[in-house]
């Protein structure tokens, strides 16, 4: 009888904890369903785009360019393309969800709830990370048709994919809160995310650039995410992966702090 009561109490405790987490869990579930309902646009489309890049660049440049000794150009290209897509889609998930909700006015359904700013942040962040990783996994599976790619340091691959998508997911939340119109969001996408991702060493090693552009590339946080992620596959990179990891992790913490400040103050959400 005593044991039954203890078990009952333990079960009740578990239930209480799960009820406390139900709010942010529901928001996360809604955000995941939101992108999954339009998976053609949010998953299939970036996967096909990345595989087309791979098809064209590997066809044109395979045999003409060798970045690392013993690594075919197609193999070199794949991690860069995966990471670029992971980052772009993590950004797109949180930013597009927020701007759509703001423009359509349905953000009010979340703002009226007792969710804290931290819970709001974590739900949008995790949804962005998951979308980024899902896109990345599908591109990896598709790329297997082109070349057999080994993973030298799987933990580094996961760490960079996770932290990179967290960084861009957070940046997407900032953009989504700040932007009031779709064209402002497009400016973020076209003038910040696209140039930084294309000029980050996805298609080349920065050692092939003139010294001045190597220095410029080192100011681009995308470069460290791509290079670190690629290091996980080949055990070779342009900079030490631990330095890259520290830069990516540090950047994430700074952006997360800014985002939490914005959410706590109600910036552009609660006047």
Chain contacts with other proteins (rule: CB under 8 A): 18-20, 22-23, 25-27, 29-30, 33-34, 37-38, 101, 104-106, 108-116, 266, 270-271
φ, ψ of residue 209 in degrees (nearest 5)? -95, 160
Phi and psi, residue 62, nearest 5°? -60, 130
What is d(CA 160, CA 63) in angstroms, rounded to the nearest whole number? 29
Alpha carbon distance 57, 194 (integer Å)? 18
In the complex, minimum distance from the CB of residue 227 to other proteins, in angstroms, rounded to a whole number:
37
Q: How far is the CB of 136 from other proteins (least distance, A)?
A: 23
Contact between 31 and 97 under an 8 Å Cβ cutoff? The reply is: yes
Give the chain's radius of gyration (CA, Å): 21
Instruction: List Cβ neighbours of 270 (8 Å cut-off, separation of 6 or more).
Output: 111
Displacement of CA 170 from its chain's centroid (Å): 9
**Shortest approach of other proteins to residue 178 CB, angstroms?**
18
Between 119 and 200, CB nearer to other proteins: 119
Nearer to other proteins, 101 or 214 (CB): 101
Angle between helices 154-178 and 241-265 (to 10 degrees): 30
**Whole-number minimum distance, CB 268 to other proteins, in Å?**
12
Rank residues 38 and 44 by Cβ distance to other proteins and give the closer one. 38
Nearest residue (CB) to other proteins, 89 versus 97: 97
Q: At closest approach, how far in Å is the CB of 82 from other proteins?
A: 27
Q: What angle do CA 68, 208, 213 make, to 5 degrees?
A: 140
DSSP label at residue 41: I
CB 139, min distance to other proteins, A:
25
Tokens describing residue 193: 């995310």
Report the nearest approach of other proteins to the CB of residue 22 (Å).
Answer: 5
Comparing CB distances to other proteins, the nearer of 101 and 220 is 101
Question: How many Cβ atoms from other residues are within 10 Å of residue 252's Cβ?
Answer: 22
Q: What angle do CA 229, 213, 157 make, to 5 degrees?
A: 0
CB-wise, 24 or 132, nearer to other proteins?
24
């Amino acid at each position: 009888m005593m044991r039954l009561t203890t078990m009952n109490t333990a079960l009740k405790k578990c239930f209480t904890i799960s009820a406390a987490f139900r709010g942010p869990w529901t928001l996360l579930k809604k955000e995941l369903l939101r992108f999954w309902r339009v998976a053609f646009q949010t998953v299939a489309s970036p996967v096909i785009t990345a595989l087309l890049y791979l098809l064209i660049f590997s066809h044109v440049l395979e045999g003409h360019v060798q970045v690392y000794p013993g690594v075919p150009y197609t193999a070199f290209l794949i991690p860069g393309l995966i990471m670029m897509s992971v980052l772009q889609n993590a950004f797109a998930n949180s930013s597009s969800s927020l701007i759509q909700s703001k423009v359509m006015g349905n953000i009010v359904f979340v703002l009226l709830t007792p969710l804290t700013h931290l819970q709001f942040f974590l739900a949008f962040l995790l949804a962005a990370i998951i979308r980024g990783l899902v896109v990345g996994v599908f591109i990896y599976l598709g790329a297997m048709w082109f070349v057999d790619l080994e993973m030298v340091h799987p933990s580094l691959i996961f760490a960079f994919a996770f932290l990179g998508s967290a960084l861009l997911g957070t940046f997407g939340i900032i953009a989504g809160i700040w932007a009031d119109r779709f064209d402002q969001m497009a400016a973020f996408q076209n003038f910040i995310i696209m140039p930084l991702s294309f000029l980050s060493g996805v298609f080349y090693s920065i050692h092939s650039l003139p010294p001045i552009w190597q220095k410029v590339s080192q100011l681009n946080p995308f470069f460290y995410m791509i290079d670190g992620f690629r290091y996980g596959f080949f055990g070779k990179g342009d900079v030490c992966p631990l330095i890259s990891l520290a830069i990516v992790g540090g950047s994430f913490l700074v952006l997360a702090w800014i985002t939490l400040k914005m959410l706590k103050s109600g910036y552009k959400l609660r006047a």
